[in-house]
Amino acid sequence: MRRSTISALVVTAWLLGVAIPAAAADPALNLLLKKGVITQQEYDQALKEAGQAAEVPPAKAELGAPAKATLPAKDADGDSTVDLGKGIKFGYDRGLYTQFKDKFRLKIRIRIQARFTDSGFNSAYNTVGDPKNYPNVSSAGVISATKHAEDLAFFGVHRTRLVFEGFAFSPDVNYFVQFRNDTADATNQLGGSRSTTQLYDAYLTLKQIPWANLRVGQYRTHFGRQEFMSSALLQFVDRGFVAEAFVPNAIDRRDQGVTIFSDQEKHPVNYAFGVFNGVGINLNRLSLSTPGNANELMYVGRITADLMGKPGYPEGDLAYSLTPQMAMGVSYGYNAGLQTNTTGVGSNNQISTAIASLGNGRLLNQGVVDIGTTGVDFVLKYRAFSLQGESFVRNVDTHDHSKRIGNATGFYVQTGYFVVPRTIEVVGRYSVMDPDTRLGHDLLTSAVGGLNWYFSGHEHKLQFDFGVITTRLNGADSVNGGVIGGNVTLIENRARLQYTIVF
């Protein structure tokens, strides 16, 4: 190793020690030696250049024998943590972290979810397509049917996440910042609106009062079970389309606002109440071209009860619960004054394309609407078996009474069982959504089965699922003034294989 490289290692060790006395740099060099990054000779040379002497092992050192360094004793926190002294540590704890006493902590995490998708479509997907639930919205606001003239097979890095989290000034002042760069590879949305780097989460959580935590910033709203949980912790390759559609703002599971909530780790019955902008991520209503409803806000509330044990939110019974774990929850969200037009005063293409991408395309061009969404959910885990489900109702009130859209309802039920505890899991899910209760023959249904192989829990796994997704279109459905002639059924047969790693 060249002298410049050794010098760089010394400087790195000094920086990690935050300019503390030279002796405190020894543990960092010891770690490099222990991991085989540097040789014993390079270690001794580094100490010499730093103005230190190598440690002499007690009891075995002989007079005149060359000094040899001793390996550090195992840290109290295990081999994944290196204590540099004076309260300074760095190591790995579900992410690479550095910490200064109980004042500051920074953890960096990365998630990659690579996916292969193979989908086959019936002929109606080419001749008619989907103009109502998952339509295409151009940059000019023009709505057109999503069509598939041929079957699809493609690879994609479906999710890439970079996370910075920790605490500042106190362990009770937490921060979380997440960036995403995702491939827009959903077969029901052909647009590329999600293929650019975005600020996804940015929030502070104050935990001084366990029964009244305070969160402010941009984050997932406390609504529902599946939408409130990270997509890294799912039993399937992706969330079900029903949970995606019934987010309270009809745009995104995330929004900007403030929430007061109790600590679910400490209480059997918990609550959350939040106030948000109601227009999704990286926007407020002032961002609209002509904000006609900038005084409107979205309100979201949730109550949960752990009836038996504490099943938590991650899906599947990875822990192999020896006693039943069961919980229930009720959520409600009210988003007033949402502008759904794709063109004209107050329209916003980011909002329009987001509404369409979640299967809520029937809301588009309804003018200003007030949306109230209610959700009920449950979960049960016991001896490698898991069962969960959610049911939703969305009430839609249009300000322009010449425009009328019915309410929406939907539910899903999913189950899983580990045939090999903590390793191999079989899963199944059935979902139904009625996007407009005024119409008949407009249901969306999905039946999906899958197999999961967990290498190291949810953070390192391989997942496969196969499903049949059916979209029914009523003869009264239309796009750009064109009426569909008679009822139409769209069918997609979709297989997906996804590899997930989080570190």
444-459: string of b/e by CB count within 10 Å (b at 16+)? bebebebebebeeebb
Residue 96 located in a structural domain: no
What CATH number is given to the structural domain containing 363?
2.40.160.10
Closest CA to 239 of 249, 229, 254: 229
What is the sign, positive or negative, of the torsion defined by CA atoms of 350, 356, 357, 359? positive
Range of the domain at 35: 3-84
217 and 285 within one domain = yes
215 near 205, Cβ under 8 Å?
Answer: yes
Residue 481 located in a structural domain: yes
116 and 13 within one domain = no
Structural domain ending residue among the three candidates 27, 52, 84: 84
Q: What is the pLDDT of residue 34?
A: 53
pLDDT (tens digit, 9 = 90+) per residue, 107-152? 999 999 999 999 999 999 999 999 999 999 998 999 999 999 899 9
CA distance 444 to 383: 33
CA distance 144 to 498: 30
Cα Rg of the chain (Å, integer)? 27
Closest CA to 476 of 467, 488, 466: 488
Structural domain ending residue among the three candidates 84, 113, 130: 84
Residue 95 located in a structural domain: no
Identify the helix (H) or strand (E) that includes residue 258. strand 254-261
252 and 373 within one domain = yes
Residue 11 located in a structural domain: yes
224 and 123 within one domain = yes
Class of residue 75 by CB neighbours under 10 A (exposed 0-12, middle 13-18, buried 19+): middle
Token pair belonging to 270: 């918990």
Each of the 503 residues of the chain gets a pLDDT tens digit; together they read 443 333 333 333 333 333 333 333 455 556 545 544 455 555 565 554 444 444 433 333 333 333 333 333 444 445 688 888 888 999 988 899 999 999 999 999 999 999 999 999 999 999 999 999 999 999 899 999 999 989 999 999 999 999 999 999 999 999 999 999 988 777 776 544 455 789 999 999 999 998 999 999 999 999 999 999 999 999 999 999 999 999 999 999 999 999 999 999 889 999 999 999 999 999 988 877 766 778 899 999 999 999 999 999 999 999 999 999 999 999 999 999 999 999 998 899 999 999 999 999 999 999 999 999 999 999 999 999 999 999 999 999 999 888 888 899 999 999 999 999 999 999 999 999 999 999 999 999 999 999 999 999 999 999 999 999 999 999 888 766 566 777 899 999 999 999 999 99
397 and 250 within one domain = yes
Closest CA to 12 of 82, 102, 86: 82
Residue 15 located in a structural domain: yes
Residue 144 located in a structural domain: yes
In this prediction the pTM is 0.81
Our count of domains for the chain comes to 2
Residue 92 located in a structural domain: no
294 and 382 within one domain = yes
Q: What is the pLDDT of residue 72?
A: 38
Return the DSSP state at 196: S
Residue 161 phi/psi, 5-degree rounding, is -130, 140
Structural domain ending residue among the three candidates 54, 84, 114: 84
22 and 119 within one domain = no
130 and 66 within one domain = no
- Residue 82, beta-bridge partner list: 90
57 and 138 within one domain = no
pLDDT (tens digit, 9 = 90+) per residue, 320-368? 999 999 999 999 999 999 999 999 988 999 999 999 999 999 999 999 9
136 and 7 within one domain = no
Residue 162 located in a structural domain: yes
Q: What is the pLDDT of residue 403?
A: 84
Vertex 7: Cα angle to 4 and 10 (nearest 5)? 155
Query: Cα 230 vs. chain centroid, distance in angstroms?
Result: 4
CA distance 443 to 336: 26
CA distance 336 to 213: 26
455 and 410 within one domain = yes
| Residue carrying structure tokens 């979640």 | 358
159 and 68 within one domain = no
Q: What is the pLDDT of residue 33?
A: 54
